[in-house]
Chains A and B, each alone.
Chain A
Amino acid sequence: MNTQTTIEAGRITQALERLSADIAEALAQADGSGEKLALIGIANGGLPFCQKLATSLRKKLGCELPVGSVDMTFHRDDVMANPIPAAKSRTDLPFEIEGATLILADDVIHSGRTVRAALNEIFDLGRPKRVYLAVLCDRGGRRLPVQPDFVGLVLDTDPSQKVKVNLDTENPSLDTVEILQA
């Protein structure tokens, strides 16, 4: 697989910064003070992005922000066509879902099927008051009516390409987003 485009760390850091500022502003406008707020990464690709977003948002909001992960495997619509991966992060939501405002985070949005499945998994565990969707990269190609509320980078890709996000939670200067030609 050949790398066609690489987005470097500086642009990713900027995108993350702007994205978290947008979320903080939206939360302030929604007057969410005192509400249960939590951040959920979609396993596995969304987890490093979620972690970085949490760090940035905690600074901006000046409050604790619990973080969880959601594994949407059981709600995939191709669930019987692909075996369950042997190693993956399980759904772990160490906070109350019922009535909470959640920010669902993933590294890339494409067809929208992953987000649909993640929402179903969350709703098996409780009924949040509101769910925002934040993604680092929107590569287009939606097949379901699912749109993110907050987007870091808009990528121009065609269906044959792959988007690979490499986020280093320790060293942001190593972050890259690669567009690969199959």
Chain B
Amino acid sequence: MTPSPAWTRKDLIAIEDLSREELDIIFATAESFKSTLGRSVKKLPSLRGVTVVNLFMEPSTRTRLAFEIAATRLSADVISVMGDASSLVKGETLRDTALNIQALSADMIIMRHSAAGAAKYLSEITDMPVINAGDGAHAHPTQALLDAYTLREKFGPDLTGKHVTILGDILFSRVARSNIWCLKKLGAHVTLAGPSTLVPREFENLGVRVCHDLKQALADADAVMLLRIQHERQTSTHFPSLGEYTSMFGLNKRRAAWLKPNAIIMHPGPINRGVELDSDLADSSRSVILDQVTNGIAVRMAVLYLCASTKSLSTAQ
């Protein structure tokens, strides 16, 4: 038996903080948890007695649910707090909310917030492990981890030299940023594609290729990750209309033919069917979108388990 090196990180804030070794620990742990997902008794005792607060200050369905399910599968007690139902709407500061949660003897916080840096701030003012479930346009580390986990399942554990194209709204996307960090650390080549207003050249500083020609961006891709076009943010300023975006960059059957035959299609969801991705492609055999969702449980179980273990150790010492 080869013991894994110790995990010492209390929080998961951003992929850029993680070493390659830490990424491998997460993937190995997630693999162990994934092997239990198909059981009739899905619950494991690993986090029995641990109280996890799911603090979601922005709307979310799958991330919040996935974290809830992951924590529940580990036997933790999970309490979800929505932003519009919390005292934050009465003017309470995030600091006070967090300190109150800590004073209520909670053990961990999973937080989504519209402000970049909110999760890091929380991790610095509380003793509890803090898991970033998305902070503004900064980071969404567990999404990147589950994306990489899905790629490893499809292409093997070594992603060195694999080509991944991220297509769509890169500028405002925390998913894209976290994926760039993660994929680069794993040795993959990353191409960013989309309209120049959403994919500025400055991203090349992160060591990725920026390409505004869709055919070229798809030609060598082993995987294409589509990002949701966030109607609520960009339509008025970054491209003339959704119809125009779709006509230029929407992935349809004709354009999917530009991909290599074994290339896979990914999407973090929610999908705007018929906008960034045609419905028949979303449901095709090339799509691994639902695998991503399933893997999100295993990866989040791993992250919760690993970060909780450091709290347990520090309590024991």
> What class of interface size applies to chain A in its complex with B?
20 to 34
Are B2 and A87 in touch, CB under 8 angstroms? yes
Chain B residues near A124 (CB-CB < 8 A): 39, 41
List 17 interface pairs A-B (beta carbons < 8 Å), by A numbering: A45-B1, A71-B32, A74-B32, A80-B309, A81-B309, A82-B3, A83-B306, A84-B32, A84-B305, A85-B2, A86-B28, A87-B2, A88-B1, A90-B32, A91-B35, A124-B39, A125-B40
Known A-B contacts: A80-B313, A83-B7. Give 16 more (CB < 8 A): A45-B1, A74-B46, A75-B44, A79-B45, A80-B305, A81-B313, A83-B309, A85-B2, A85-B4, A86-B2, A86-B24, A87-B28, A90-B32, A120-B45, A124-B41, A125-B40
With contacts A74-B36, A90-B35 taken as known, whether A81 is within 8 angstroms of B316 at the C-beta atoms is: yes
Q: Is B125 an interface residue (CB 8 A)?
A: no
In angstroms, Cα B24 to Cα A73, docked, is: 18
In angstroms, Cα B7 to Cα A71, docked, is: 21
Q: Is A166 an interface residue (CB 8 A)?
A: no
Are A83 and B4 in touch, CB under 8 angstroms? yes
Footprint of A on B, CB under 8 Å?
1-7, 24-25, 28-29, 32, 35-36, 39-41, 44-47, 305-306, 308-309, 312-313, 316
Are B44 and A80 in touch, CB under 8 angstroms? no
Are B46 and A80 in touch, CB under 8 angstroms? yes
In angstroms, Cα B29 to Cα A84, docked, is: 6
Chain A residues near B45 (CB-CB < 8 A): 74-75, 79, 120
In angstroms, Cα B24 to Cα A80, docked, is: 18
Chain B residues near A85 (CB-CB < 8 A): 1-4, 28
Chain A residues near B306 (CB-CB < 8 A): 83
Report B156 CB to chain A, min CB distance, Å. 16
In angstroms, Cα B305 to Cα A82, docked, is: 11
